[in-house]
Amino acid sequence: MLRAAQLVSIAAALAAALIVERGLAHAPGAYGIGSRGAAMASAVAADATDFSAGYYNPAGLVGATGLSLSLGYAYTSNDLRMNGAPSGTRDVHGLAGGLVAPGAVAGIPFAFGLSTFIPDEGLSRIKALRQETPRWELYDDRLSILFLAANLAVRPFPWLEVGGGLAFLASTRGGFQVTGRASVLSPYESKLEHEVDADLTTIRYPQLGLRVKAGDLGFVGLTYRGEAQLPLSIDANLDGVIDFAGVEVPLAYALESRTIDGFLPQQVVLGLSFQRIERLKINVDLTWVNWSAYESPVARTRAHLAVETPPGLDIDLPEDPRPTVAIPLEFRDRFVPRVGVEYVWPVAGPMRQISGEATPRRALEVPLRAGYVYERSPIPPQTGATNYVDVDRHTMSLGAGLWWNRPGAVLQGALRLDVHGQLSVLPEQVTEKANPADFIGDFRAGGTMISAGGTLTAAF
């Protein structure tokens, strides 16, 4: 029976290895998408008109002045700690980009947009942990998930823009099966076959947005993002015969695990962009995040061992393990305020007429940006048996760029290089357990996150 137990362990381990490590959400929701949005602390729900509008507000896509292609890269270094020691939270890095293609039908402006974030260490991650094991629940590998959004926007009136579409996330299903004959006394004579099956599936959720022009003051934006859950399924089966000194014992072992691989709460964003002063934009966003709908990531596992014992052979089989009982999490909804500022400095060069814009611009311009966001933790104090670690987060961001307007006959828009940096500070917080005999005990948690990246855009 020892050999069977080893095979079962191998089956479960290989099945789990197919799905790298657990993710909770995706990079756009935590650090922004595109250098312009990230540099302004993602306070661009009323002001994004490039590919990033596919996440921030699909209605803004129709504000693009021409066809544009964007490609960028961002890297986030996470230094999150417990009791002064690193928590092992992985760094996050990947490609971000997309396109915007505007046009008109029957005189009504419209635009189609694609936006994506592609992690460069895999498309989907999971990590199975006991609910008592301490982990940074909102940041522990949460960002290594493929994100793709396709949206369409129209401008039915000069003052109104409406957009919407679907966003896609990558989820995983895996299975492992072992069949054959195992010899206890002569393991090298065992004949076993295994089969691995894994699928990368997509989960879709809706995105809707509108943008209203408020005269000369600027724009008002409203965005809705639907909830998304990434289910994870793992099945492992062992079906074979154990040969012990000529005594054959048929057995079957089945393992079934179901959990939520990732969760994106539904969100509503209200954004204001003040543009009364030429070349200056002051943006304010307020986001409601429905964290109270969050489901426990604890795996629901069932296992069963069946053995056909030969006549006269008495074997005591262990009972099936009891299913895990998930402790209710009771996360709280939160409001997230964001502020972003951008000033475009006309550096040098002659005035040039840009395709799709009424006002000429300098040949070279340098945008300067800054932002701030405060995110209150949605996780209640972990004084009981669970240890879902989180603290409040303060993020300061800076960014700049170099815009080369109308560089040639082919590129009648602009060639833009934007860069950004972010510093997130999570002030240390002490959690005191209600039970002095708790096996984890009281703990301190806090840390920092540092992000940087760049985006290159060609506007035709």
Where does the pLDDT of residue 247 fall: very low under 50, low under 70, confident under 90, or very high at 90 and above? confident
* pLDDT value at residue 178: 66
Q: Which residues have CB under 8 Å from 143's CB, separation 6+? A: 23, 25, 26, 27, 30, 31, 76, 92, 119
Task: Determine the residue type at 130.
Answer: R
Of all residues in the chain, what percent are helix, strand and coil, respectively (each to 5)? 10, 55, 35
Distances in Å between the Cα of 377 and the Cα atoms of 194, 296, 427, 441 are 45, 17, 11, 21
Query: Mean pLDDT, to the nearest integer, of 316-344?
Result: 85
Q: Give dist(CA 300, CA 325) in Å, integer.
A: 8
Indicate the average pLDDT of the chain: 84
* Spans of all domains in the chain: 2-459
DSSP string, 228-288: EEEEEEEEEEEEEEEEETTEEEEEEEEEEEEEEEEEE--EEEEEEEE--STTEEEEEEEEE
pTM across the whole model: 0.83
Helix (H) or strand (E) holding 111, with range, is: strand 108-119
Distances in Å between the Cα of 115 and the Cα atoms of 22, 78, 151, 174, 289 are 23, 25, 9, 28, 22
Sign of the Cα torsion 250, 255, 256, 261 reads negative
Segment among 136-150, 286-300, 312-326 with least mean pLDDT: 312-326
CATH 2.40.160.60 holds for 2-459? yes
N residues, the chain:
460
pLDDT higher at 18 or 162:
162
* pLDDT value at residue 198: 60
Query: Mean pLDDT, to the nearest integer, of 325-331?
Result: 81
Pairing of strands 267-274, 218-225: antiparallel
- List own/partner pairs for 309-313 with CB under 8 A and 24 or more apart: 309/249, 310/247, 310/248, 310/249, 313/247, 313/249
* pLDDT value at residue 78: 92
pLDDT tops 70 at residue 192:
no
Please state whether 391 falls in left (phi above 0), alpha (psi between -120 and 50) or beta: beta
**How many other C-beta atoms are found inside a 10 Å radius of the C-beta of residue 307?**
14
pLDDT higher at 198 or 407:
407
Segment 22-54, tens digit of pLDDT = 444 567 888 999 999 999 999 999 999 999 999
Which token pair is 303?
């296992």
Q: Give dist(CA 218, CA 341) in Å, integer.
A: 13
Judge contact between 302 and 319, C-beta under 8 A.
no
DSSP reduced 3-state for 293: helix
